[in-house]
Amino acid sequence: MALKIIITAPVHPFLLDTLKEKGYTTQYEPTISYEALMDCIDTANGLIVTTRLKIDATILAKANQLKWIGRIGSGMELIDTEFAVTKNILCVSSPEGNRTTVGEHALGLLLSLMNRIHSAYTEVREGKWIRDANRADELTGKTVGIIGLGNTGAAFAKVLSGFDVEILAHDIYKTGFETAQIKAASLKMIQEKADVISLHLPLNALTNYYANEAFFKGLQKKPYFISTCRGAVTDANALLKALQNQQIRGAGIDVLEKEPISLHTSQEKAVLEALMMYPNFILTPHIAGYSHEAYYKMSKVLLEKLGII
């Protein structure tokens, strides 16, 4: 009897084709609801997810045939991995598949802010031709603070390697990563010395609202702020205050605590609208890790880790 895999998110055709070639039965439902998954999870031998559904203990308790959960991308915060272990369910993710594009996107946000690209273009569309107020800040010679030197943080450091910058990296889980360009640093050191700060943190109890009012108040050099990790790592209200109080020179983010924005409460909508009034604020719709290349590579990495290819 063929093993059955339930796929709860859009995936590259390579994944579907490979599973079929290897003799698996697939139930491809990229828009399946939590309730609908609950009704059929007991038939699954494998489960493929992204960030859309919460795979909690309630649903896992019904997954009596489940052998593994494959996470397309990075971050396991929506999967109750501790409960999964008690049921001998293997949980794997594929951050190696999209780390490069996240690093490149973080650099794109930063360069757009520093060179006034998106704000200047908005002015040109309005018929304005303003040069002096749009003078750029060069990245060359600056100090860049990277908080979290995992897959995406290291990828950001890699794309920065061609620039003449000093990189200060803070990671409580890693040591021995120093190079000629990358120096280990405390959070305090980054807050004091960095001209740019980029967050590359997982979401957990330690990092929820990591970038809060105290974080921004501790900044000494009015840095550019970049975040391509999880929305809840940054407190949107604190970010707004940081812009209002000129504690940062600009902010480029790819994530929000609640996505999509159609789910926002009136208060959340008001905060976002206030943020978007600032020309030195950029928001992209959680696309940093979603390049065409990453779409394929995440599937390939996942299948390799699961031993399917």
Domain residue ranges of the chain, discontinuous segments joined by +: 4-97+292-305, 99-283
Whether the domain at 4-97+292-305 and the domain at 99-283 fall into the same CATH topology? yes
> Alpha carbon 304 to chain centroid distance?
22
Listed in sequence order, the residues at least 6 apart from 214 whose beta carbon sits closer than 8 Å to its beta carbon are none
Number of DSSP helices (H) and strands (E) in the chain, helices first: 12, 12
Name the class of domain 4-97+292-305.
alpha beta
Question: What per-residue confidence (pLDDT) applies to 209?
Answer: 98
pLDDT tens sequence for the chain (309 residues): 789 999 999 999 999 999 999 999 999 999 999 999 999 999 999 999 998 899 999 999 999 999 999 999 999 999 999 999 999 999 999 999 999 999 999 999 999 999 999 999 999 999 999 999 999 999 999 999 999 999 999 999 999 999 999 999 999 999 999 999 999 999 999 999 999 999 999 999 999 999 999 999 999 999 999 999 999 999 999 999 999 999 999 999 999 999 999 999 999 999 999 999 999 999 999 999 999 999 999 999 999 999 999
Q: Which amino acid is at 101?
A: T
305: which 2 tokens? 């880790």
Q: How far apart are CA 26 and CA 5, in angstroms?
A: 5
What global pTM score does this model have?
A: 0.95
Question: What per-residue confidence (pLDDT) applies to 2?
Answer: 85
Q: How far apart are CA 249 and CA 280, in angstroms?
A: 7
Q: How far apart are CA 24 and CA 19, in angstroms?
A: 5
16: which 2 tokens? 């579907």
Query: Which CATH number is associated with domain 99-283?
Result: 3.40.50.720
* Angle between helical axes of 266-276 and 236-244 (0-180°, round to 10): 30
Q: Please provide the DSSP assignment of 34-48 as one string.
A: HHHHHHHGGG-SEEE
Query: What is the spatial order of strands in the sheet that 46-49 belongs to?
Result: 25-28, 4-7, 46-49, 68-71, 90-93
